[in-house]
């Protein structure tokens, strides 16, 4: 097995002899290792400088290792850190509780140091791959914002759509996976506009038939640009279909009703709302109430998902309250 790259590892163990043994062994493997005796001390260290991996005993006195794991996994900033829980061989209850808390692995005490080394190496390798994916997605979201910057009238559009789409998805009860896809799609939904000439994209007035046809290619182009990135598999349908309409009159595939992915139906509502509320060279921004009236009329005519719009209308006051 290839040796893992040096990592920052936090050991949470109230038995000083066990803690020192783990620290010494992991440090000998080339890792930067820090040990603490309590979950509270661990949280104090994790907040300012998250480690690459955490090893924690179950019984720490006060907050348990399982409770520590749950706290970490509920924090979006920390939830991808691998957590290994050290348990007694027969402690089935602790293992079940650890699984429920989101633990990534278990290790029985007394432990074999060679086995521990191997498991740590595997978890760190997975963490490294996840970090690489996050960096790749960061580059792409930056590209999405760069495309937005071509048009001075759409400043902040990507950030607003990401924020509104995630909030709307949460209100509709979608799972965390779709919420993440909605966040990324907020930045990437118009990625295909990279292929649209400025003369069309920035035209200060209505588009002619040829220009409109060209503009309507941007969802297809955007979806094609991300199709080789497996981490964006769930984002691609939102990019491609966020201009579809419930009655089949949208584009590019004229999908109808439930055939339109839920993420795309959510993105469509927040996208149209933001467009109505934003100034353009050929129109003034609409007040909130007027924009909602337009969305209601269009929904009555078959454009948008009524359930999604109803949830958005209920949510809108909270969204407006936090707008800059």
Share of the chain above pLDDT 90, in %: 43
Closest alpha carbon to 38 in 61, 71, 72: 61
More confident: 118 or 42: 42
Handedness of CA 132, 134, 135, 140 (dihedral sign): positive
Q: What is the 3-state secondary structure (H, E, C) of the chain?
A: CCCCCCCEEEEECCCHHHHHHHHHHHHHCCCEEEEECCHHHHHHHHCCCCCCEEEEECCCCCCCHHHHHHHHHCCCCCCCCCEEEEEECCCHHHHHHHHHHCCCEEEEECCCHHHHHHHHHHHHHHHHHHHHHHHHHHHHHHHHHHHHCCCHHHCCHHHHHHHHHHHHHHHCCCCHHHHHHHHHHHHHCCHHHHHCCHHHHCCCCCCCHHHHHHHCCHHHHHHHHCCCCHHHCCCHHHHHHCCCCCECCCCCCCCEHHHCCHHHHHHHHHHHHHHHHCCECCECCCCHHHHHHHHHHHHHCCCCCHHHHHHHHHHHHHHHHCCC
Is the pLDDT at 211 greater than 80? The verdict is yes
Residue 201 CB contacts under 8 Å (≥ 6 apart), including other chains: 150, 151, 193, 215
Handedness of CA 260, 262, 263, 267 (dihedral sign): positive
Is the pLDDT at 131 greater than 80? The verdict is no
Confidence band of 135 (pLDDT split at 50, 70, 90): low
- How confident is the model over 228-232, as a mean pLDDT? 78
Q: 129: alpha, beta or left, given left = phi > 0 and alpha = psi -120 to 50? A: alpha
Report the C-alpha gap between 57 and 62 in whole angstroms.
Answer: 12
Same fold flag, 8-130 and 149-321: no
Report the C-alpha gap between 60 and 40 in whole angstroms.
Answer: 10
- How confident is the model over 28-40, as a mean pLDDT? 90
Q: Pick 8-130's CATH classification: 3.40.50.2300, 3.40.50.1010, 3.90.1150.10, 3.20.20.20.
A: 3.40.50.2300
Structure confidence at residue 79 (pLDDT): 82
Structure confidence at residue 1 (pLDDT): 42
Structure confidence at residue 155 (pLDDT): 64
Q: Pick 149-321's CATH classification: 1.10.3210.10, 1.10.287.3610, 2.40.10.340, 3.40.50.2300.
A: 1.10.3210.10
Is the pLDDT at 252 greater than 70? The verdict is yes
| Highest averaged pLDDT of the listed ranges 114-128, 258-272, 310-324 | 258-272
Any idea where the domains of the chain sit in the sequence?
A: 8-130, 149-321
Confidence band of 2 (pLDDT split at 50, 70, 90): very low
280-307 tens-digit pLDDT: 766 788 999 999 999 999 999 999 999 9
């Amino acid at each position: 097995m290839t040796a893992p790259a040096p990592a920052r590892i936090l050991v949470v163990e109230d038995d000083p002899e066990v803690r020192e043994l783990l620290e010494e062994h992991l440090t000998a493997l080339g890792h930067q290792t820090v040990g603490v005796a309590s979950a509270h001390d661990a949280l104090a260290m994790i907040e300012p400088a998250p480690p690459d991996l955490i090893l924690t005993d179950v019984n720490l006195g006060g907050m348990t290792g399982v409770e520590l794991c749950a706290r970490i996994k509920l924090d979006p900033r920390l939830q991808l850190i691998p957590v290994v829980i050290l348990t007694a061989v027969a402690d089935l209850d602790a293992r079940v509780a650890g699984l429920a808390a989101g633990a990534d692995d278990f290790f029985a005490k007394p432990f074999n140091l060679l086995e521990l080394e191997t498991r740590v190496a595997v978890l760190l390798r997975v963490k490294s791959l996840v970090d690489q994916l996050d960096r790749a997605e960061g580059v792409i979201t930056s590209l999405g914002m760069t495309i937005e910057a071509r048009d001075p009238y759409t400043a902040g559009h990507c950030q607003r759509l990401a924020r509104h789409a995630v909030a709307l998805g949460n209100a509709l009860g979608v799972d965390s996976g779709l919420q993440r896809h909605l966040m990324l799609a907020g930045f990437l939904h118009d990625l295909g506009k990279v292929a649209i000439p400025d003369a069309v994209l920035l035209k200060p007035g209505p588009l002619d038939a040829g220009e409109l046809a060209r503009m309507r290619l941007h969802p297809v182009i955007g979806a094609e640009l991300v199709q080789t990135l497996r981490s964006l598999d769930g984002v691609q349908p939102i990019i491609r279909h966020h201009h579809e309409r419930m009655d089949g009159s949208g584009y590019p595939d004229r999908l109808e009703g439930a055939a339109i992915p839920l993420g795309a139906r959510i993105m469509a509502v927040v996208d149209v709302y933001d467009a109505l509320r934003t100034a353009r060279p050929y129109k003034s921004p609409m007040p909130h109430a007027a924009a909602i009236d337009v969305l209601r009329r269009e929904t009555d005519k078959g454009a948008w998902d009524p359930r999604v719009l109803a949830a958005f209308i209920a949510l809108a006051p909270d969204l407006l309250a936090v707008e800059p």
